Amino acid sequence: MTLQIVVMVKQVPDTHNVTEEAMKADGTVNRAALPAIINPEDLNALEEALKIKDRIDAHITAITMGPAKAAEVLKECLYRGADDVVLISDRKFAGADTLATAYTWKYAIEKIGKYDLILCGRQAIDGDTAQVGPQVAEKLNINQITNLLEVVEIDERRMTVRRAIANGYEVVRSGFPLLVTVSGEANQPRSPRAKLVMAYKNIEKDVRGDSYDVSYLETEETHMLSRIVEWNADSIGVDPAICGLAGSPTKVKKIENVVLAVNDIKQIPCTEAGIHGLMQELKSDHII
Amino acid sequence: MKQVMVFVEQIDGRIADVSIELICEARRLARELDATVTAVALGSKLAGVLPALGNYGCKTVYCVEDERLSHFTSHPYAKSVVGVIRRHAPAIVLFGATIIGRDMAPRIASALKCGLTADCTELRIGEHKSLKQVYPKTLLQVRPAFGGNIMATIVSPESGPSMATVRPGVMKLDPPEAGLSAEVVMEESGLTPDDFLTEVVEVVRREKSVNLGAAQIIVAAGAGAVAPASIALVRKLAQTIGGVVAVSRPLVDAGLFPHDHQVGQTGATVRANLYIACGISGQIQHRAGMAGSKRIVAINSDPDAPIFRIAHYGIVGDLNEVIPKMIDAYKN
């Protein structure tokens, strides 16, 4: 029996690598200038899915919710071995907080149909909340396990995992359906496979139901190639009142850029005299 | 009477420090709302340790006493707390942003369809004007986002309760006032065997090797100090001046130090009297964990390292030369 795995992935700005080019003159970050990447812990989640597929019979569907550009992260998933990919995209989803996002995800995943295991990264490096995974699990009314470090055992009925806890780890077991969030410490994601990159780098979106069927003109090869399936709010049947900004109980009141303030720093020369002076000052101020 | 409620986390009957920090914070918020501080605790054999929460201003603790809840698993904990919140309708609920808190709080918020803000660094009561109406006294939740590059103030006035998670060491711990006892009210969990979906097979806990939150003097090593000889110097300096060794994330990722020693956004938040950063570039995720230290000395061979922007003293040089000089200067 093939284990049906859904991997949730997100395209995010690379907030952990803010270089000089992405900094404005006033010391704040130019958010628009940050390169877009696949959320690092989502790659760890995909890697766990691929490792499971290396062990047992499994089918991996990678899904992302975002603007059209987000299809790029779906390609990253295909390059590494995902079987199917889906883009959930609609302007109605804009401005969503984690609750509204989780609602949208629930409808999208239920449209996929049967699933056993949902894997996602522990948290995204733009929102940094780690809330969407558990909230999707609650909306789907399924069990959740967070901070996965290692899959110890898995078969088509249940899985046993090692997860991080305060000051240690624990080994826990659950049946399916199950949502698991994957920590960055769990694995080293594999690189794209050249053969898959060649096969998928030019694939396009396939908006089902919009154009008439020309599949009789396709070769066997192109017909078998995965297409990027795209769904919008109507296709997944989500009520606009509960998604996007309208469905968000949390609202942003204010945003302040963190300015790398230049402190009144005392430059200490790297000499014996300079360092001696520093230690003396710390001593006389009773710091040491 | 309005309630500001705190989820009290316990391990083997010992109440987590972060829960007490949050009760102190809840007391500050409750004063502005004319509310009382309450708490919710789950587990077994807890009734003995809970009254002491009164020393920090907690009036009532709702205790869900159930043997099956003695060890945390997601669904039973979330469902029990949802029950307590529905029964008592607090205005605000606070959770420690621990592994347990970050697992449970979002599930609870989803069930209650209320707002939850993670990793708050500051909480205030203030006014918020939406397009439709004015909320004179709502919870303002301040937190870093975008990898720490922005500070966002979040509000959730239209749903209830306003929920927030806060990392250990962020909120100020007040000294306890002896003689005040919290009332413990026992509540039913309402859980059936079907609610227990996760089986706990094995639990391995290591004793924490270091308590960074309490350290007054910290000597920290970063990627620039990864060589064994450099780490030895960092240790020697710490030992000489009576400090504790900490590290930035790269040294934990490299397997050289356990996570207990890590300072930063995914590690400990410290407010030391003296923080000596050796070979630490000062990425925002690290600064988030130590910028509150009273005196910061930064040693780095790169004059453009971001750490120099928040340091009080900066030494541009090779830490392998600077540290021995510091040790000599201290001894003489």
- pLDDT digit string, tens, across residues B292-331: 888 999 999 999 898 998 899 999 999 999 999 999 999 9
What pLDDT score was predicted for residue A279? 95
A20-79 tens-digit pLDDT:
677 676 666 677 788 899 999 999 999 999 999 999 999 999 999 998 899 999 999 999
**A156 neighbors A116 (Cβ within 8 angstroms):** yes
Residues 6 or more apart from B254 whose CB is under 8 A from it? B226
**B115 neighbors B86 (Cβ within 8 angstroms):** no
What pLDDT score was predicted for residue B258? 87
Cβ distance A29 to B149 less than 8 Å, yes or no, reads yes
Taking CA atoms, A107 is separated from A100, A234, B32, B86, B166, in Å, by 11, 10, 41, 26, 31
Closest CA to A44 of A193, A179, A188, A165: A188
Give the dihedral sign, CA A65/A67/A71/A73. negative
Please state which of the four CATH numbers 3.30.470.20, 3.40.1080.10, 3.40.50.620, 3.40.50.1820 is assigned to the domain occupying A3-252.
Answer: 3.40.50.620
Chain A residue with CA closest to B240: the answer is A288
What pLDDT score was predicted for residue A209? 46
Range of weakest confidence among A248-262, B30-44, B211-225 = A248-262
**Is residue B121's pLDDT more than 50?**
yes
Cβ distance A97 to B115 less than 8 Å, yes or no, reads yes
User: In chain A, where are the structural domains located?
Assistant: 3-252
**B244 neighbors B234 (Cβ within 8 angstroms):** no
Chain A residue with CA closest to B168: the answer is A166
Q: Which of A128, A276, A287 sits opposite B295 (nearest CB)?
A: A287
**A64 neighbors A167 (Cβ within 8 angstroms):** no
What pLDDT score was predicted for residue B91? 97
Residues 6 or more apart from A17 whose CB is under 8 A from it? none
Alpha carbons B139 and B137: distance in angstroms, whole number: 7
Residues 6 or more apart from B157 whose CB is under 8 A from it? B128, B130, B135, B138
User: In chain B, where are the structural domains located?
Assistant: 3-195, 212-331
- Percent of chain B whose predicted confidence (pLDDT) is above 90: 77
What pLDDT score was predicted for residue B199? 97
Which residues of chain B have a CB within 8 Å of the CB of A283? 330
- In A, residues 20-59, which contact B (CB 8 Å cutoff)? 28-29, 31
Token pair 């109507």 in the structure block, residue: A234
Instruction: Give mean pLDDT, residues B131-138.
Output: 92
Instruction: Give mean pLDDT, residues B239-268.
Output: 90
Tell me the residue ranges of DSSP E strands in B51-196: 60-65, 92-96, 116-117, 122-129, 134-145, 150-155, 162-166, 183-187
> At A260, phi and psi to the nearest 5?
-70, 85
Range of weakest confidence among A171-180, A182-191, B140-149, B179-188 = B140-149
**B315 neighbors B322 (Cβ within 8 angstroms):** yes
Instruction: Give mean pLDDT, residues B216-227.
Output: 95
**A179 neighbors A120 (Cβ within 8 angstroms):** yes
What pLDDT score was predicted for residue A224? 45
Residues 6 or more apart from A267 whose CB is under 8 A from it? B314, B315, B316
What pLDDT score was predicted for residue B248? 95
Cβ distance A127 to B111 less than 8 Å, yes or no, reads no
Are β-strands B198-205 and A168-175 bridged in parallel, bridged antiparallel, or unpaired?
Answer: antiparallel
Using only the alpha carbons of chain B, give its radius of gyration: 22
Residues 6 or more apart from A163 whose CB is under 8 A from it? A145, A146, A147, A148, A149, A169, A170, A171, A172
**B319 neighbors B233 (Cβ within 8 angstroms):** yes
Which residues of chain A have a CB within 8 Å of the CB of B98? 166
Q: Which of B200, B201, B314 sits opposite A267 (nearest CB)?
A: B314
Closest CA to A176 of A74, A82, A63, A56: A56
**Can you give B46-83 as a three-state secondary structure string?**
CCCCCHHHHHHCCCEEEEEECHHHCCCCHHHHHHHHHH
**A251 neighbors B156 (Cβ within 8 angstroms):** yes
What pLDDT score was predicted for residue A225? 47
Range of weakest confidence among A248-262, B4-18, B111-125 = A248-262
Token pair 């060491």 in the structure block, residue: B169
Cβ distance B294 to A287 less than 8 Å, yes or no, reads yes
Cβ distance A253 to B153 less than 8 Å, yes or no, reads yes
Are B3-195 and B212-331 the same fold in CATH?
Answer: yes
**Is residue A183 helix, strand or coil?**
coil
- Rounded to a whole number of angstroms, the distance from the CA of B314 to the nearest CA of chain A is 5
Q: For domain B212-331, give the fold.
A: Rossmann fold (3.40.50)
Architecture of domain B3-195: 3-Layer(aba) Sandwich (3.40)
**Is residue A21 helix, strand or coil?**
helix
Task: With residue A171 as reference, give the H or E element that holds it.
Answer: strand A168-175
Q: What is the mean pLDDT of chain B?
A: 93
What pLDDT score was predicted for residue A26? 66
Which residue stretches of chain A have pLDDT < 50? 207-209, 223-226
**A149 neighbors A102 (Cβ within 8 angstroms):** no
